Chains A and B, each alone.
Chain A
Amino acid sequence: MDYDYLIKLLCVGDSGVGKTSFLYKYTDGVFHTQFISTVGIDFREKTVIYQQNARQHRIHLQLWDTAGQERFRSLTTAFYRDAMGFLLLFDLTNEASFLEVRNWIEQLKTHSLSDDPDIVLCGHKCDLQEKRLVNQNRAREFAKNYNLLYLETSAKTGQNIDRAIEILLDKIMYRMETSVEYAMLCASGRRRQSLQRLQAKQDRKLCSC
């Protein structure tokens, strides 16, 4: 695939919050009630068009999916390597998964290149209203404290699935635009590697200033 940018996004959150379903819905538009637990790392991919200042970019999204309960150091390293943005999911019907969000944020800060990684917090499974245990205001309040964007999503209805990724992409593109010489970014697919490295470097620079 030819594209202008390769962007690696990670989907994180506790086991069973619906990471695979979320990504599956996004890339394939399908929702399945029966998934099997993710072991190791899975990818999903999708190419989208991004309009920025009258310029269109072809963005190849690489969406990484991992087991919620990941104990392997080597996998974690690979998972976070060159990640540019994070979808942090919790299950609205499971309070424990919400309480874990704090830890996940710490994790992301530790592993990602930036001290202030781009994160979109998603309260997932919002179609299950009758089972909901985390109310919206509480989640909003929390997100506000951590300066995160918050959305309520559902893979079943598709609510906010695309939007969550669009918002995350906006943040990433904004960061890239402000941090990297624009011209240098217009790399062809073949130069994507260097682009990514460049971006990584720029990110590091950003944090140090």
Chain B
Amino acid sequence: MPLPDLIKRASSYFLGLEFDDNEELPDYVDNEILFCKNNVCVHPPTIARHELDIVHHPGYLTVTTKVFTDQHNKSKRPTLFLNWIPNSTLKKCPSAVESSPSDEIGCVIKPTHPQDIPTQKTVQQKKRKYTNNDNAFSDSSDTTSLNSNSDKQSIKSNDTRYTQNDTTQEELTSSSKPTIKSADSSKDDVFVSLDKEESKDQIFEFDRHVRSQSMTSVNITIANPNVENVDLTPDSLSGSFMRSLSMSSCDEGNPNWMSTPEFLALKHNLIFPDSVHSSPVPQRRQPLKCRRFSVDLSQMRSLRLFFNDDNCTCGQLVVASRESQYKILHFHHGGLDHLAQVLHRWHALLHNIKLTPGSEEPNLPYRHFMVCRPEVQKSEQHPEEGKVPKITPELFYGKVMNGKGVIEDDLYLRKCVFFGGLDRELRREVWPFLLHCYPYNSTYDEREIILQIRKREYDEITKRRLEKMTPEQHAIFWKTVQSVIEKDVVRTDRGNPFFAGENNYNVEIMKNILLNYAVYNPALGYTQGMSDLLAPVLCEIKCEAEAFWCFVGLMQRAIFVCTPTDNDMDNNLSYLRELIRIMLPHFYKHLEKHVDAMELLFCHRWILLCFKREFTEAVALRMWEACWANYQTDYFHLFLCLAIIAVYADDVIAQDLNTDEMLLHFSSLAMYMDGRLILRKARGLLYQFRQLIRIPCTLVGMCQRCGPGIWDSTHRPSVECTGAHDFCEYAVQ
């Protein structure tokens, strides 16, 4: 079956649309490894501003079958487990094993750490009125032996085929301390293999070796008196996973469900960037260790596969737990297509919860689904996608700009920037044009003159600010503008080397520009967010006066929304609403269902900061340039919003997320979206929009700007009145 069909089918399976397919489940053995792949990456939560900041933690991924025993009625059902072990663990494991006492090698994990077992004491501790998890992170700085224990465990339980004894949850709860029964007939072999693994340092080898092993039986039971309260209980039946859960459950005597989502996420390695919950912080705690994790896929709220190459082999697997915690696995080296096939083939194991006899209401009122979204289809792309070159120095100085420094065909330049992008080293040269600091048709000499004039003007503004204010004016200025700017500049892009460090003079320059802008344009003054827009411009342009005028261009021309007044934002949001209505009707229906969802709060920051906090800086600036190019529209940022929704909102619809949950969902995606895909999709959407035969009168305003307007000579859509306005020139009389 060709992959696109497969993906479509898989997608509908997981969306629960196509259950009547009578394809029989293939035969399988419990704990059979259905899929394995090495060098699947996890990028731990850092605030990645640059591509280089992303830390890749390659690891080994398996999907195995496993019998899940229902804790309430002991009924059993098969399910799928997804396990991931970091390569670093595989490497360090042998020594951990060697240093362990022999009985531990026999897989009896002793309660060497008090937090391993819930004791009576911890139960009592729970009764404290408040129990907080303030030490969540201190815990994660953790005990190494504990780690090696669990690492070892995970290797055994995940990598080696093993059979699980039928220890039920009842046993788990009744036996009040961890006991690990092991029928480890081949432990020596395993460790031999680990030693080999160490010497060869190759996971392929390891995998092959493991496959040739006889089966190892590992069974961990850890009592957890709170287990019935735990949402994640079924997860905890996984050997290694359970350990981590019970660890978390017993820290400070907190029951599992008291842990913060962040805490649980950290424990399970299910953490999304901290931007989920707060603005990104430039400096983080110590880099998080990437730990192995194991999840019951049937317990997850969603599984999504995002393909990001043309062959549909590479991309991301996004696993979302019911708490909206995400785990993202990056397939940089192919294999995602194969995983799609495996999940397609075994989907039935993820859908049998309802069939569990005896339980009338499955305690899992959520859907599993999977959206396999390949690369933006060719048909969805702008026809010129990929055909327009990037602006490189050779192209720019060879073709775009002539000997006198004149850009004769600015449309060509803007088109190239829009489609192909701009070489980083040309930003200094090209941005002032895009930001209307200089006209395209000016010569080098003319620009020199313009710059002198602009510098003088800038000095005038500075003088006005410093010398010509009355004390009263100054007091007001200080209170409403200066004090806010002073607070903001010291927390803007400090992770960027250009602004880093104490007493960085560039921060002072940023402050001066913002203060001067507030003098230059007192109506706008200063609003939070402006410093975020200025910082990248200043960083590239460097010259204070020139950066100021570029910033003025950025703000004045409303190239994208930079004037954060209600009006501009409201206009943009109402255009966006209309675009959604026309182009993404399913999502529009979803919005209609939920109170206040039409306010599109989740788009607010996207528009305000032009996606700066949603993507890594390199990608965000690429988007800025595409917006600044004013190619075919002045509102490309809205098409970018539309593209994000088009690509990432299937989840929202399928899970029927309400207004607040949507806000959470989309802010969770910050820094994890594929910006290049979004750009391609947005260009495609713009193209589709321009092909429309009719547009509503509500969008006419959006199409009027940009020189001659958005339409080219060959096509002009008719305008239909939607009846939204009282007086509409397009209304049919």
Q: Could you tell me which A residues sit within 8 Å of B by CB distance?
A: 1-3, 15-16, 20, 23-24, 26-30, 32-51, 56, 58, 62, 65, 67-69, 71-75, 77-78, 81, 96, 158, 162, 166, 190, 193
**Closest beta carbon of chain B to A25's beta carbon, Å:** 8
Inter-subunit contact B277/A158 (CB<8 Å): no
Inter-subunit contact A37/B130 (CB<8 Å): no
Residues of B within 8 A of A26 (CB): 134
Inter-subunit contact A72/B494 (CB<8 Å): no
B residues 97-140 touching A (CB-CB < 8 Å): 126-138
Can you show 21 pairs from A to B with CB atoms below 8 A apart? A2-B257, A28-B136, A36-B491, A39-B608, A39-B613, A40-B608, A42-B278, A43-B277, A46-B262, A47-B257, A47-B258, A48-B131, A50-B130, A51-B127, A65-B278, A72-B564, A74-B573, A77-B599, A81-B596, A166-B130, A190-B365
Chain A residue at minimal CB-CB distance from B603: A40
Question: What's the Cα separation between A151 and B615 when bound, in Å?
Answer: 38
Inter-subunit contact A51/B605 (CB<8 Å): no
Of B258, B285, B663, the contact of A41 (CB 8 Å cutoff): B663
Residues of A within 8 A of B274 (CB): 28
**Closest beta carbon of chain B to A187's beta carbon, Å:** 14
Residues of A within 8 A of B39 (CB): none
Q: Could you tell me which B residues sit within 8 Å of A by CB distance?
A: 126-138, 229, 231, 255, 257-262, 274, 276-285, 322-323, 365, 479, 483-484, 487-488, 491-494, 527-529, 531-532, 564-566, 569-570, 573, 596, 599, 601, 604-605, 608-609, 613, 658-660, 663-664, 667
Query: What 8 A-B pairs have minimum CB-CB distances, sorted nearest first?
Result: A16-B487, A29-B134, A40-B605, A44-B277, A51-B129, A46-B260, A40-B604, A74-B599
Q: B interface, by DSSP: helix, strand, loop or mixed?
A: loop
Among A15, A30, A166, A193, the one with the most B-chain Cβ atoms within 10 Å of its Cβ is A30
Inter-subunit contact A37/B229 (CB<8 Å): no
Residues of A within 8 A of B660 (CB): 43, 62
Residues of B within 8 A of A67 (CB): 528
Known: A45-B277, A48-B131. 7 other contacts (CB 8 A): A29-B134, A43-B660, A51-B127, A71-B566, A74-B604, A190-B365, A193-B658
Residues of B within 8 A of A166 (CB): 130
Known contacts: A34-B491, A36-B279. The answer to whether A27 contacts B137 by CB under 8 A is: no
Residues of B within 8 A of A40 (CB): 601, 604-605, 608
Chain A residue at minimal CB-CB distance from B494: A34
Inter-subunit contact B285/A30 (CB<8 Å): yes
**Closest beta carbon of chain A to B172's beta carbon, Å:** 19
Question: What's the Cα separation between A49 and B479 when bound, in Å?
Answer: 42
Residues of A within 8 A of B613 (CB): 39
Inter-subunit contact B282/A34 (CB<8 Å): yes
Of B494, B608, B664, the contact of A43 (CB 8 Å cutoff): B664
Inter-subunit contact B135/A29 (CB<8 Å): yes
**Closest beta carbon of chain B to A2's beta carbon, Å:** 5
Known contacts: A15-B487, A39-B609, A158-B134. The answer to whether A34 contacts B528 by CB under 8 A is: no
**Closest beta carbon of chain B to A50's beta carbon, Å:** 7
**Closest beta carbon of chain B to A155's beta carbon, Å:** 12
Inter-subunit contact A96/B365 (CB<8 Å): no
Inter-subunit contact A78/B279 (CB<8 Å): no
Chain A residue at minimal CB-CB distance from B479: A96
Known contacts: A29-B136, A37-B279. The answer to whether A74 contacts B601 by CB under 8 A is: yes
Chain B residue at minimal CB-CB distance from A1: B323
Of A20, A28, A62, the contact of B279 (CB 8 Å cutoff): A20
Question: What's the Cα separation between A43 and B262 when bound, in Å?
Answer: 12
Inter-subunit contact B132/A37 (CB<8 Å): no
Chain A residue at minimal CB-CB distance from B229: A2
Residues of B within 8 A of A162 (CB): 130, 132, 134
Residues of A within 8 A of B129 (CB): 49-51
Q: A interface, by DSSP: helix, strand, loop or mixed?
A: mixed
**Closest beta carbon of chain A to B156's beta carbon, Å:** 31
Of B128, B137, B564, B664, the contact of A29 (CB 8 Å cutoff): B137
Of A32, A50, A78, A193, the contact of B601 (CB 8 Å cutoff): A78
Question: What's the Cα separation between A158 and B137 when bound, in Å?
Answer: 14
Question: What's the Cα separation between A81 and B594 when bound, in Å?
Answer: 14
**Closest beta carbon of chain B to A184's beta carbon, Å:** 21
Known contacts: A29-B137, A190-B365. The answer to whether A71 contacts B277 by CB under 8 A is: no
Of A32, A71, A72, A74, the contact of B281 (CB 8 Å cutoff): A32
Inter-subunit contact A34/B278 (CB<8 Å): no
Known contacts: A28-B262, A29-B135. The answer to whether A36 contacts B528 by CB under 8 A is: no
**Closest beta carbon of chain B to A205's beta carbon, Å:** 20
Known contacts: A69-B484, A71-B565. The answer to whether A34 contacts B659 by CB under 8 A is: no
Residues of B within 8 A of A62 (CB): 660
Known contacts: A1-B257, A15-B487, A37-B487. The answer to whether A72 contacts B566 by CB under 8 A is: yes
Of B278, B494, B604, the contact of A44 (CB 8 Å cutoff): B278
Inter-subunit contact B527/A69 (CB<8 Å): yes
Residues of A within 8 A of B133 (CB): 29, 46
Chain B residue at minimal CB-CB distance from A99: B479
Question: What's the Cα separation between A69 and B132 when bound, in Å?
Answer: 31
Residues of B within 8 A of A71 (CB): 527, 564-566
Inter-subunit contact B277/A27 (CB<8 Å): yes
Residues of B within 8 A of A27 (CB): 260, 262, 277
Of B134, B282, B484, B566, the contact of A36 (CB 8 Å cutoff): B282
Inter-subunit contact A37/B488 (CB<8 Å): yes
Inter-subunit contact B283/A32 (CB<8 Å): yes
Inter-subunit contact A69/B566 (CB<8 Å): no
Residues of A within 8 A of B138 (CB): 29
Inter-subunit contact A2/B231 (CB<8 Å): yes
Known contacts: A1-B257, A34-B494, A78-B596. The answer to whether A24 contacts B278 by CB under 8 A is: yes
Question: What's the Cα separation between A41 and B43 when bound, in Å?
Answer: 25
**Closest beta carbon of chain A to B113's beta carbon, Å:** 20
Residues of B within 8 A of A77 (CB): 596, 599
Known contacts: A32-B281, A77-B596. The answer to whether A37 contacts B531 by CB under 8 A is: yes
Residues of A within 8 A of B130 (CB): 48-51, 162, 166
Inter-subunit contact A37/B491 (CB<8 Å): yes
Chain B residue at minimal CB-CB distance from A45: B261
Residues of A within 8 A of B487 (CB): 15-16, 37
Known contacts: A29-B133, A72-B564, A96-B483. The answer to whether A20 contacts B231 by CB under 8 A is: no
**Closest beta carbon of chain A to B39's beta carbon, Å:** 31
Inter-subunit contact B277/A49 (CB<8 Å): no
Residues of A within 8 A of B257 (CB): 1-3, 47, 58
Residues of B within 8 A of A69 (CB): 484, 527-528
Chain A residue at minimal CB-CB distance from B321: A1
Question: What's the Cα separation between A11 and B170 when bound, in Å?
Answer: 44
**Closest beta carbon of chain A to B526's beta carbon, Å:** 9
Question: What's the Cα separation between A29 and B659 when bound, in Å?
Answer: 28
Chain B residue at minimal CB-CB distance from A42: B278
Question: What's the Cα separation between A35 and B599 when bound, in Å?
Answer: 28
Question: What's the Cα separation between A11 and B596 when bound, in Å?
Answer: 21
Inter-subunit contact A49/B258 (CB<8 Å): yes
**Closest beta carbon of chain A to B689's beta carbon, Å:** 25
Question: What's the Cα separation between A166 and B488 when bound, in Å?
Answer: 31
Of B131, B276, B528, B659, the contact of A39 (CB 8 Å cutoff): B528
Residues of A within 8 A of B136 (CB): 28-29
Known contacts: A39-B528, A40-B604, A50-B130. The answer to whether A78 contacts B659 by CB under 8 A is: yes
Question: What's the Cα separation between A156 and B87 when bound, in Å?
Answer: 36
Question: What's the Cα separation between A77 and B601 when bound, in Å?
Answer: 10
Question: What's the Cα separation between A24 and B671 when bound, in Å?
Answer: 19
Question: What's the Cα separation between A50 and B131 when bound, in Å?
Answer: 8
Question: What's the Cα separation between A23 and B277 when bound, in Å?
Answer: 10
Question: What's the Cα separation between A120 and B609 when bound, in Å?
Answer: 32
Residues of A within 8 A of B531 (CB): 37
